[in-house]
Structure 1
Amino acid sequence: MASYEDVIERIDHLVGERPGTVIIAFLLVTALLTAGLGNVSTESGTSQFTSGSPAQEALNDVDRVFGQSFSEDVASTQLIQRDQNVLAKPALLRLLRAEEELASRESLRVQSASSVADTVALLIDPQADTYAEKIDAVEGATPAQIDAAVRRAAESPGFASSLSDDFNSQAASASATVAVVTHQVPGAGGSSAGTSGGSSPVSTIQQRVETTLDRQGARDITVFGSGILSAEFANVIMDSLLIVVPAAALLILVFLVFSYRDPFDLLLGVVSLVMAIIWTFGFMGVAGIPFSQMLIAVPPLLLAVGIDFGIHAVNRYREERTEGHGVVESMEIATDQLLVAFFIVTGTTVLGFLANLTSSLGPIRDFGVVAAIGITFTVLIFGIFLPAAKVYTDLWRERNGIRQFGTQPLGGEGSLTGKFLGYPVLIARKAPYVFLIVMVLSTTVVAGYGTGVSTSFNQEDFLPPEDTPAWLDDLPEPFAPHEYQVTGTLNYLEDNFNSIGGSSVTMYVRGPLRQDYALESMHHAAYDPPGSFITEDDSRYADTQSIVGVIDSYADQNAEFRALVARNDIDDDGVPDDNLGLIYDRLLDSPYHDQARQYISHDQRGAKVVYSAESSATQAEVVADAEVVEDRYRLTATATGQAVVFEYITDSILDSALTSLAVALLLTALFLLFCYWLFERRPTLGLVNLFPIVLTVAFIAATMRYFDIPLNALTATILSISIGLGVDYSAHIVHRFGDEYRKRDLYDAIEVAVRGTGGSLTGSMLTTVTGIGVLVLAITPILGQFGAVTGLSILLSYLMSVIVTPSAMAVWGHAVERYEAT
């Protein structure tokens, strides 16, 4: 069986003696994977996180049991009308004409519409069946008649729920209203607490609604719905890519020029980067992994890490060239050492990303897999292809007498970097024990503070801010982003519509609903609700929608049914508690059948109760209060809904972050112990390698808390990623130290290792921080936060590696020398 030295020797031979063959092989693989680029699909929004969660499955059960049975699925569009007074005649007429125009277009597949304008028109003329008749009714009414109709309509609780919070029934005025238009849309079914991105039949219809109203001149009406939201999610992905990737490439190019200082080396570096991106995205297409908002972070990551590997390869090669070695010999010496370091670095980085496979959230698992595969591809390209291409071009340049540029390695003794790197070495010589004790004690304090970092998951993380930065408006095509309105619309609804902007909780009630206590249980559960639940006017009962409300509505309209309910209301509280089966049967045989089916199952063993929550209440408060109400039911009750699902995801994010961190630490420690046993026969060097990065993780968590950056769907990966990426910096130093320690004394080995790799580490740190930090330019907040935190983690990892590692190596060396002396 071949040893690792044999494998490295074969690679050295291929790179040095047969570079053309290596280049052709890599280009062929690139051509094959290019074919997979066309198969890459996109997925965006929050539904990718909620799918498969227990809370989401419960919500799916509710929609399956209580959903309406249409041959075609139903989608709804909200028309948000804003005016000085939407209840005045001009505004009512504009809304009615907008509804008429939408209903007249077959392509919009309008099934029905509901608005305050419809209600007012019918109160003025109960015989008005068509939109033309409703428009005539409102047009022919006096302002006094319209105001009277509004006051009569306000007696029904449902009327005010579609009006803004400033609705005044006596003055018959409100500044905004929401109308709902339903469409028959094949393929619109399926429920999720989140929203999917991408093109869909619903998106197409709602975009047509926007176009129709624009042509009609309905400037006071904003179109909103799941299709509009989905389209905006998809636009965010493309816009962010068009801004982030070129910006990352441009900034990295600047550092490449500084690091390589040679046009041929610069070209090879750029070609290698493009290949890494093609391989990764081609693999995604072949594997069927959709591209999501989280994966926008992968291209800058690969660009930055690729440059890291490239700088190390070229810099190490130049070190040997300055010693007087030839092209092939210099590269073989460089790759002989760097391939081992690259193996260690790649292994720890891949383990850091793959630790995210422990997450219960699919997108986080996909991110871990794609990033791990991308890093593996990157090290193959920069560890084998780039050195082979460098040998090939340098031999060609020697044969043709083409001048070599930038032959000096970074971090020489007289350079600014070299001067800085001298201080940690001096500390390692003079007071390594004191320095490490101070670092451990300060890290303990910082770690305690970092445990208070918050956790969050909400739809706004994936949407652009309401007010995008002004510089985005100045970008030329094709970089100019779309105009975004959804966030502003959501904020407007939340600020102005308590019943719409607030969240809700759906209680899925299961049990024998014909039992006498069934409806009383629902009624009593709503009494004196927790603080975040909205109460009915002049009542101590929660504002709910349930089968009890449908019974009340039909009883108000039908005297015979009202008498039936009264006869079976033993305690005279308005809720029947006897002969419930008969009451259900009569209700289901009435015109209220469809409404009843929204709240009671066919077998009458399941019910749905919807509680409205205050818009000002936090997600955690709503869910905590839902659990209180859940325990009040005599039947089995399960709370679900968007707030519950999102809170479950929030808890899962924290679990994911902690679990992946623990797994990354454990696997990385084992991997490093194995590597240093295999390569150096000194396994404890693995702990020296890991030590500064453990300190880094504590400082990252504390920094996130200080800057109020939560652990969200993307930043939750940062702790394990910091292990994977951060170990890279100390790995280069420790591995070089291991090589040098064989032939030098302890402190000389430390100095050569730090100075020899420190320049490369500085250059790669700058490119990595720049490449990943450019994500702060992304349109969505979640990507900006990830870019900022990841860039900071790289900087901290670098500083800890070059400052703490020398003292750690000195302490390790003292321990080894004492052990070997005994």
Structure 2
Amino acid sequence: MSRLGERVEDFTRRVNEVIVSRPRGVIVAFLLVTAVFAGGLTAVTTETDATGGFTDDLPEQEALDAINDEFDDPFEADEETTQLIHDGNDVLTRGELLNSLRLLERIDSRDDLRMDSANGPATLVAQSLDPTATTPAEQRRAVERATSSEIRQVVRQLSENPQFTAIVSDDFNENHASASTSITVVSHDVPRGFSDDDLQDVQTTIGELADDEPADIRAFGPGVINSEFANIIGDSLAIVMPVLVVMLLGFLVVAYRDPIDLALGLLSLLMTIVWTFGFLGLSGIPFDQQMISVPVLLLAVGVDFGIHNINRYREETVKGIEPIPAMRIAANQLVIAFVIVTVTAVFGFGANIVSDLGPIRNLGIVSAIGIVFTFLTFGLFLPATKLEVDRIRERYGVPEFNSTPIASEDSTLGRLLSVSVTVGRKAPALLVVVLLLVGGGMGAYGMGVDTSFEQEDFLPPEEEAWYVEHIPEPFAPDEYTVTGTINLLDERFDANQDESITIFVEGSFEEDHALEALTSPDDDPPGTLAIGPGGQADAQSIVTVIQSHAENDEEFAALVARNDRSGNGIPDRNLDRIYDELFASSAGPQAEQFLTDDRRGAQVEYTVEAGASQAEVSEDGAEHAADFRYTATATGQLVIFDAITQIIFESAIQGLILALILTTVFLVVSYGVLEGKPMLGIVNVFPIAIAVAWLIGTMRYLGMPLNALTGTILSIAIGIGIAYSVHITARFIDEYNASGDTYTSLRTTLSGTGGALTGSMLTTALGTGSLALAVTPVLGDFGFLMAMSVVYSFVAAIVALPPALFLWDRFTTSGPRPNRSDDGLAAAGDD
């Protein structure tokens, strides 16, 4: 061991000596810190916009924000709308129209709902019957006075009105005057600065009013979506945490087999959660859906530390060693392993900090800090508390219920775990090569895994899972409608819900060639934009506004014709005068949506091919923007979501590589400094690399993409999974230094530490797997994959480490070693 290694061990011994000699002081210090962090719990805020945080600082989002700023009048009030989705056998009957109007009348009577106007089939029918009916009450009376046949006649007449056909479903039948679904848009008169929370309150209240109606009418809008996002967080925690606690209790009862030790473990877990979420509140980081995974991850690591601590302590006490010397031995042996596990876990979790996406960065920060807290509570607080409690038990004669370790060499579990040692000794090189080939193949296959980012990832499924109906109050989740509404709109309004992108063009649009330059790229657009006649683009711009107004205004048409030298309907001189006339006309408000007041910015909206992927549309949008003579930028939700998708994939790979490099370097340096055996660091990383390769291969095979949360799984899997290799190696080194025999050391390690690892694996896998019960698919997928990564890491450590350690012993050790002889090996092989 080097001098530095000796200093490190000397420091850890001094720390451990404080724990065993002054346990009360340690306990008091931790309780005081817990009180401080408990105060931060009240400052925790919840992020209800599940996708909003991902777009922060994104160039594509900044371009869209710039468009909104350019084309919105800062002195006008904001306009907010709520959609009322009316579904039924036929929503255009007299009775159903009256149901819609009664709801509008109730909304209009509430000043706090700020209704300014409403536009829907019921209002259009009522105004066709009585043009003077401007309020919902007047419109209701107009429909009440009409007969069913008169209503049908008006609906047939409105079938020629694009405004009407746009808000009824695709199954609208003109002859029968029927449709299964309709949309009514309620506009709200709101002051400038009307917040998202205010809109959420308004739309939630409207939804409650709609629920009271006999018809199937539901409110829909950003406020409703954010409200459900907020409920999802609470409901997911209410489902997952009790299940997690029950599972942990079950396995901890088996692992500890002593109610007092069980209580100490749970107290340490609780303290870890309080510290972590107290930090969350004090730091100002919001709690979002991704953060639901943090307590599960911390509990998983905490359980691992707790089981190892108590189990190692018991291995010494069953030998008759007194508590303080036993804890000193256990702590001195485990603290280095705990430090290594903590640092590597911080590397694995914290690697997500490199992501360009805010929520993923926040997850990396909070989980990395939480792992440090976990080490402190289980590495310092738990041993001190265990010693103090045992003193009290001895003083008052409280019996120990079961103080034996989980497994031993003589137990069935111990013998089963050590099988890989016997197999690995016979052909270690062959086994390592086979494992490398299989792992490499799975990794190569897994690199074709899909990546996605969709709003639906954060929403609950339309159909509730089978177990939801069996959840008792108050844990039962709310009823969710957003996903069903989105699916209904996609199904019934497919023809009216075209996907689109926007291209923002910057330049001087008073130059003679400006409008020609704005339209010329549309003659030969890329594939997903070529949906117009003759393969042209279907675009809406200041040019289409000019042409539309010219069709309705002869004087304006003449002005355009006089300034159209090419005769193609696009003016190419005196554009400043044409703009002045257009903006002063009835088409002015529409023109303001496509050309800025200073005439130096224009936006063009393109309808894209139905069913085209985000990647295809984004690529074609960027290609089309490059064809403009002026500076042009493609943006819109499809483009933004595709940019996020690419960042998720890049973040996943960068996080994986960073975690692997940092972990490998740290382990090589650690084992080199502490034991003079740097190659053990490479050996440690070997199993986790195989486990991650299997994990990403499994993701592709099961069709589970890298998304907003599962994109973090690869580096997190390293952070959690490396613990199994580290604990085995740490125990192996101690046994190896004592005996010098690899085979005997591995058998002792896997039958002793392997038992604790098995208990830790079961609790961690089932604990993280409980996330599969969460309301949203993104959390469910993460929980399932997290459980798989734990199982893979455990199996890889048990199967891959023994042959790797045999090879390490063969190539790094030469000359005679103590207690190692052919007779000794033969005797060990007879076990």
In 2: Cα distance, 1:507 partner to 1:91 partner: 41
Identify if the C-alpha distance between structure 1 residues 399 and 278 changes in structure 2 by more than 3 Å, giving closer, same or farther: same
| CA apart distance, 1:579 | 2.8
Find the partner of 2:354 among 351, 354, 358.
358
In 2: Cα distance, 1:47 partner to 1:306 partner: 32
Secondary structure of 1:507's counterpart equals strand
Secondary structure of 2:418's counterpart equals helix
- Unmatched 5+ stretches in structure 1: 191-198
In 1: Cα distance, 2:497 partner to 2:99 partner: 24
In structure 2, what is the equivalent of residue 718 of structure 1? 713
Amino acid at match of 1:609: V
In structure 2, what is the equivalent of residue 423 of structure 1? 419
In 2: Cα distance, 1:331 partner to 1:300 partner: 28
| CA apart distance, 1:352 | 0.7
In 1: Cα distance, 2:812 partner to 2:62 partner: 57
Amino acid at match of 2:34: T
Identify if the C-alpha distance between structure 1 residues 288 and 486 changes in structure 2 by more than 3 Å, giving closer, same or farther: same
**Is the 8 Å Cα contact of residues 532 and 613 (structure 1) preserved in structure 2?**
yes
Identify if the C-alpha distance between structure 1 residues 114 and 529 changes in structure 2 by more than 3 Å, giving closer, same or farther: farther
| CA apart distance, 1:145 | 6.1
| CA apart distance, 1:554 | 3.3
In structure 1, what is the equivalent of residue 451 of structure 2? 455
Find the partner of 1:785 among 781, 784, 789.
781
Post-superposition CA distance 1:230-285 (Å, at most 9, x none): 00000000000111111111101100000001111111111111111111111111
In structure 1, what is the equivalent of residue 601 of structure 2? 606
In 2: Cα distance, 1:362 partner to 1:376 partner: 21
Alignment TM-score, normalising by the size of structure 2: 0.93
Amino acid at match of 1:519: L
In structure 2, what is the equivalent of residue 195 of structure 1? none
Secondary structure of 1:610's counterpart equals strand
In structure 2, what is the equivalent of residue 106 of structure 1? 111
| CA apart distance, 1:645 | 0.6
In 2: Cα distance, 1:420 partner to 1:640 partner: 58
Post-superposition CA distance 1:156-177 (Å, at most 9, x none): 5444322222234455443222
Identify if the C-alpha distance between structure 1 residues 506 and 669 changes in structure 2 by more than 3 Å, giving closer, same or farther: same
In 2: Cα distance, 1:781 partner to 1:116 partner: 35
Amino acid at match of 1:725: I
Amino acid at match of 1:760: A
| CA apart distance, 1:130 | 4.4
Give runs of aligned pairs for residues 63-212 of structure 1, distance below 5 A. Answer: 63-126=68-131, 128-131=133-136, 134-135=139-140, 138=143, 149-150=154-155, 153-169=158-174, 172-186=177-191, 200-212=197-209
**Is the 8 Å Cα contact of residues 534 and 612 (structure 1) preserved in structure 2?**
no
**Is the 8 Å Cα contact of residues 237 and 292 (structure 1) preserved in structure 2?**
yes
Find the partner of 1:49 among 54, 70, 73.
54
| CA apart distance, 1:185 | 3.2
Identify if the C-alpha distance between structure 1 residues 805 and 38 changes in structure 2 by more than 3 Å, giving closer, same or farther: same
Find the partner of 1:256 among 249, 252, 260.
252
In 2: Cα distance, 1:402 partner to 1:141 partner: 86
In structure 2, what is the equivalent of residue 297 of structure 1? 293
In 2: Cα distance, 1:139 partner to 1:552 partner: 42
In structure 1, what is the equivalent of residue 703 of structure 2? 708
**Is the 8 Å Cα contact of residues 15 and 22 (structure 1) preserved in structure 2?**
yes
In structure 2, what is the equivalent of residue 61 of structure 1? 66
In structure 1, what is the equivalent of residue 731 of structure 2? 736
Identify if the C-alpha distance between structure 1 residues 16 and 129 changes in structure 2 by more than 3 Å, giving closer, same or farther: closer
Secondary structure of 1:483's counterpart equals coil
Post-superposition CA distance 1:719-753 (Å, at most 9, x none): 11111111110001111222222221222222222
**Is the 8 Å Cα contact of residues 99 and 215 (structure 2) preserved in structure 1?**
no
In structure 1, what is the equivalent of residue 41 of structure 2? 37
In structure 1, what is the equivalent of residue 267 of structure 2? 271
In structure 2, what is the equivalent of residue 337 of structure 1? 333
In structure 1, what is the equivalent of residue 240 of structure 2? 244
**Is the 8 Å Cα contact of residues 409 and 748 (structure 2) preserved in structure 1?**
no
Post-superposition CA distance 1:430-476 (Å, at most 9, x none): 11111111111112221221111110110011110001113212322
Find the partner of 2:507 among 507, 511, 519.
511
Find the partner of 1:727 among 716, 722, 732.
722
In 1: Cα distance, 2:215 partner to 2:141 partner: 22
In structure 2, what is the equivalent of residue 576 of structure 1? 571
Identify if the C-alpha distance between structure 1 residues 47 and 764 changes in structure 2 by more than 3 Å, giving closer, same or farther: same
1:692 is the counterpart of 2:696 = no
**Is the 8 Å Cα contact of residues 96 and 215 (structure 2) preserved in structure 1?**
no
In 2: Cα distance, 1:187 partner to 1:129 partner: 26
In 2: Cα distance, 1:713 partner to 1:134 partner: 47
Which deviates more from structure 2 when the two are superposed, residues 552-561 or residues 260-269? 552-561
State how many pairs are aligned. Answer: 811
1:558 is the counterpart of 2:553 = yes
Find the partner of 1:9 among 8, 13, 23.
13
Give runs of aligned pairs for residues 254-653 of structure 1, distance below 5 A. Answer: 254-498=250-494, 501-527=497-523, 532=528, 542-613=537-608, 616-653=611-648
**Is the 8 Å Cα contact of residues 529 and 535 (structure 1) preserved in structure 2?**
no
1:21 is the counterpart of 2:25 = yes
In 1: Cα distance, 2:107 partner to 2:566 partner: 49
| CA apart distance, 1:611 | 2.4
In 2: Cα distance, 1:639 partner to 1:146 partner: 45
Which deviates more from structure 2 when the two are superposed, residues 493-502 or residues 652-661? 493-502
In 2: Cα distance, 1:732 partner to 1:579 partner: 79
| CA apart distance, 1:678 | 2.0
In 1: Cα distance, 2:551 partner to 2:132 partner: 21
In structure 1, what is the equivalent of residue 651 of structure 2? 656
In 2: Cα distance, 1:532 partner to 1:169 partner: 32
1:803 is the counterpart of 2:807 = no
In 1: Cα distance, 2:149 partner to 2:576 partner: 46
**Is the 8 Å Cα contact of residues 499 and 612 (structure 1) preserved in structure 2?**
no
In 2: Cα distance, 1:785 partner to 1:39 partner: 30
**Is the 8 Å Cα contact of residues 77 and 182 (structure 1) preserved in structure 2?**
yes
1:230 is the counterpart of 2:235 = no
Amino acid at match of 2:630: L
Secondary structure of 1:178's counterpart equals strand
Identify if the C-alpha distance between structure 1 residues 89 and 605 changes in structure 2 by more than 3 Å, giving closer, same or farther: farther
Which deviates more from structure 2 when the two are superposed, residues 157-166 or residues 455-464? 157-166
Secondary structure of 1:742's counterpart equals helix
Secondary structure of 1:3's counterpart equals helix
Percent sequence identity is 47
In 2: Cα distance, 1:575 partner to 1:363 partner: 47
Which deviates more from structure 2 when the two are superposed, residues 481-490 or residues 133-142? 133-142
- Unmatched 5+ stretches in structure 2: 818-831
In 2: Cα distance, 1:305 partner to 1:356 partner: 18
Identify if the C-alpha distance between structure 1 residues 693 and 132 changes in structure 2 by more than 3 Å, giving closer, same or farther: closer
1:776 is the counterpart of 2:781 = no
| CA apart distance, 1:632 | 4.3
Identify if the C-alpha distance between structure 1 residues 151 and 524 changes in structure 2 by more than 3 Å, giving closer, same or farther: farther
Which deviates more from structure 2 when the two are superposed, residues 701-710 or residues 499-508? 499-508
Post-superposition CA distance 1:186-218 (Å, at most 9, x none): 46679xxxxxxxx70000011122233344x26
In structure 2, what is the equivalent of residue 196 of structure 1? none
In 1: Cα distance, 2:25 partner to 2:750 partner: 35
**Is the 8 Å Cα contact of residues 27 and 384 (structure 2) preserved in structure 1?**
yes
Post-superposition CA distance 1:330-363 (Å, at most 9, x none): 0000000100110011010011111111100111
Coordinate RMSD, CA, aligned: 2.5
**Is the 8 Å Cα contact of residues 595 and 601 (structure 2) preserved in structure 1?**
yes
1:213 is the counterpart of 2:210 = yes
